[in-house]
Amino acid sequence: MSDAADRICVGAIAGAFGVQGEVRLKSFCAEPAAIADYGPLYTEDGSRSFKLRLTRPLAGGLGARLSGVATKEEADALKGVHLYADKSRLPKLPDDEFYYADLVGLTVQDTGGAVLGRVQSVHNHGAGDFLEITGPGLKQALLLPFTRANVPTVDLAAGILVADPPEEQA
CATH number, domain of 158, equals 2.30.30.240
Q: How does residue 168 score in pLDDT terms, banded at 50, 70 and 90?
A: low
Residue 106 domain flag:
yes
pLDDT higher than threshold 70 for residue 169: no
Same domain? 72 vs 106: no
Residues facing 132 on adjacent strands: 121, 143
Same domain? 11 vs 48: yes
Residue 170 domain flag:
no
Residue 137 structural domain: 100-163
Same domain? 15 vs 78: yes
Nearest to 48 by CA among 13, 9, 83: 83
pLDDT at 86: 93
Across the chain, mean pLDDT equals 89
pLDDT at 162: 94
Per-residue pLDDT of 53-91, as tens digits, reads 999 999 889 999 999 999 999 999 999 999 999 989 988
Same domain? 85 vs 108: no
Same domain? 16 vs 71: yes
- Of 3-7, 21-25, 93-97, 140-144, the poorest mean pLDDT is in 3-7
Are the beta carbons of 160 and 114 closer than 8 angstroms? no
Largest separation between any pair of C-alpha atoms in the chain: 60
pLDDT at 1: 46
H helices present in the chain, as ranges: 72-77, 100-103
Give the pLDDT mean for 131-160.
90
